[in-house]
Structure 1
Amino acid sequence: MDIRQLTYFITIAESGSFTRAAAKLHIAQPALSIAVKKLEQQLEMPLFHRGDRKIALTHEGEVLIQHARLILQQVEDARIAMAELKGLQKGEVRLGVPSMLGSYFFPEILMGFKSRYPNLKLTLVEAGTQSIRQMLLNGELDLGVIRSADLPDSLEAEPLLTSEMVAVVSPNHDFAQLPSVSFEQFFSQELVMFKQGYFHRDYLDSVCQTHKLKQNIAFETNLLPMILSIIRQEFAISALLEMVTRHEPGLTAIPFDEPVHLNLAIAWRKNGYLSLADRAFMEFIKAHQRHRRPHSV
């Protein structure tokens, strides 16, 4: 096996087709087929089920692809490390953040970091924490924000912030004058929610299961501005991090009777390589948090 063969193998598996894989790799399809056939001969086992229209991995292929992805990621880590030893001045931080943090917590950090390190590139991906976790494991992201409770063994993390989740309604809603609301009151209302896979939706789903409550979801969207608009126009209510209501007019935040505090962490692959750019970003976040007031965000 060599790196080229493993690259071909992964591209075919992800494309589901030799034709599409050959186009992505910019090589002729017959050459790609020959290369994979040689790999299968070396291993003395088939890696693909070859159908008329689509191919699929065999059991042996499923086992190999896990190792192949790790090998290619380690090769890329080594390339970055060697480039840094030669004094490479440029680098990239690939960061995954949930929508609310991307809109209300990270802009100040990102702008400050870019001002200090103008030659470094920042790539920000907004997604649900389940997707962020998987992208970290796949090597698509260097750093990602997830719930501390969702940390798998293959990731390492450092605490980032603790934030309260509150019910969010329009100022004219019946709940707006209440000092707090129960889960029963909240779930009795029509709701606008993020889709499953986002940390606050996953938490509320677990609350429903624990308390044997049923959600009345009228709207489901991953677009935070749409959620805020629906709340303001009194079509539904939601639950968001308290930091959102501090920055958005026309919303009323009400704590739950049982206060909900979510602990969020910034995570990375346990066996991955954190580049100089990634480490500089981590140190910048730590310094930023130290200069904030010592209470929860």
Structure 2
Amino acid sequence: MTLKQIRYFIAVAELGSISAAAQTVFISQSTLTLAIQQLEEELDAALFTRSAKGMTLTHQGHQFLRQSNLIQSTVQSAKRNLQAFNYQEEGELVIGVTSLVAGYFLADLLTRFQLAYPKVGVSVVEDERHYVEHLLVNGEIDVGVLILSNLENRQALQTEVLVHSPYRLWLPTRHPLLDYDSISLADAAAEPLIQLNADEMAHNARSFWRQLDHSPNIILRTNSTEAVRSLVASGFGLSIQPDITHRPWSLEGDIIEARSLHDLNDTLDVGLAWRRGSQRPAMVDAFLSVVRGGHR
């Protein structure tokens, strides 16, 4: 039994007609008829008497209508109470982020949190991962949104992964590797490569290059994701990047292709971190709830 079925049942009971109820709840008559039939099967009871004139509640239908109105009223009351709590809640929340995460996650998380808690003041500290960790452990910030792959203070921090982002090879259009049925790390290593250094990406890259017997042909290192896009799209070199950073075009409008590497299974793990052990500030729980709701 679902809340939708209950809403549909109430509409039919009040209007006495499938066609009128279908217009009210904005679904087709066939969908509404099926929903009522499934509800009657679930309850093992006939809720309506059908006739040419419409739908009339049976005795069991009247009993269920009273319960249905109570259920709907309870749900609406719960929603109102929660929304009232969110909008009345006041406080401060300090979030720590690293540079790469700030570019791809921060705006969405802050927008959703401030819609739910408009009276909460939010401030953001952007810095390198090790310093964000230091601030979290010392209690100087409330929660961190960062790459979790390289965390050092795991015993002092509690974490929750939001995204496991796989790595893929970025190529310009018409590159010969695009004709391969399968591309390997060795294939990529033989090509001129552009390395993104922002947010410890070079450290992460070294972990998957270790499986090769020879060093990759890295011809340029940069802290700018946009520079990587432009250079790849223009044919200057290739790059291996996590999917969270991929966009199919550069700032100049040139196409960037992305292909999986069959022997690269590493992921870039992005998520939340907060201090372990001590009681969390109420605003951290609120933030975790909002973020979790958007990343199921």
TM-based fold match above 0.5: yes
* Alignment partner, residue 208 of structure 1: 209
Q: Is the 8 A contact 1:97 1:124 kept in 2?
A: no
Call closer, same or farther: CA 1:171–1:132 in 2, change over 3 Å: farther
The one-letter code matched in structure 2 to 1:266 is L
AA partner of residue 269 (structure 1):
R
Contact preservation (8 Å) 1:179, 1:255: no
Q: Shift of residue 201 of structure 1?
A: 2.6
Deviation of residue 240 (structure 1)?
1.4
Contact 1:146-1:267 at 8 Å conserved across structures: no
Cα 1:120/1:179, change in 2 over 3 Å? farther
Aligned counterpart, 1:224:
225
CA shift, 1:158, in A, is 1.6
1:160-187 alpha-carbon deviations (Å, 9 max, x no partner): 2211111112223222343442111112
Distance 2:179 2:138 in 1: 47
Shift of 1:125: 4.5
The equivalent residue for 1:257 is 262
Q: Is the 8 A contact 1:170 1:176 kept in 2?
A: no
- 1:168–1:130 Cα change, 3 Å: farther
For 1:120 and 1:248, locate their aligned partners in 2 and report how far apart those are by CA, in whole Å.
37
Indicate the larger mover: 259-268 or 230-239: 259-268
SS across alignment from 1:189: coil
2:113 paired with 1:113: yes
Structure 1: 5+ residue stretches without partners: 1-86, 291-297
Distance 1:154 1:106, change over 3 A: same
* SS in structure 1 at match of 2:295: helix
> What is the distance in 2 between the residues matched to 1:245 and 1:197?
16
For 2:211 and 2:270, how far apart are their aligned partners in 1? 22
SS in 1 for 2:231: helix
Do the aligned partners of residues 255 and 126 (structure 1) sit closer, same or farther apart at CA in structure 2, a change above 3 Å counting? Answer: farther
TM-score normalised by length of structure 1: 0.58
Q: Relative to 1, partners in 2 of residues 1:272 and 1:197: Cα closer, same or farther, differing over 3 Å? A: farther
SS in 2 for 1:211: coil
Preserved CA contact (<8 Å) 1:96 1:141: no
Cross-structure match for 1:278: 284
Q: Aligned-pair distance for 1:148? A: 4.8
Q: CA deviation at 1:282?
A: 0.9
**Overall identity of the aligned pairs, in %:** 21
1:45-84 Cα offsets, whole Å, 9 max, x none, are xxxxxxxxxxxxxxxxxxxxxxxxxxxxxxxxxxxxxxxx
- Return the alpha-carbon distance in structure 2 between the equivalents of residues 253 and 113 of structure 1: 32
SS at match of 2:164: strand
2: distance between equivalents of 1:140 and 1:186?
A: 42
Q: Distance in 2 between matches of 1:127 and 1:240?
A: 21
CA RMSD across the alignment: 2.9
Consecutive unaligned residues of structure 2, counting only runs of 5 or more, are 1-87
What are the residue-to-residue correspondences of 1:65-76 with 2, within 5 Å? none
Aligned counterparts of 1:182 and 1:247: Cα–Cα separation in 2: 21
Q: Aligned equivalents of 1:126 and 1:170: distance in 2?
A: 32
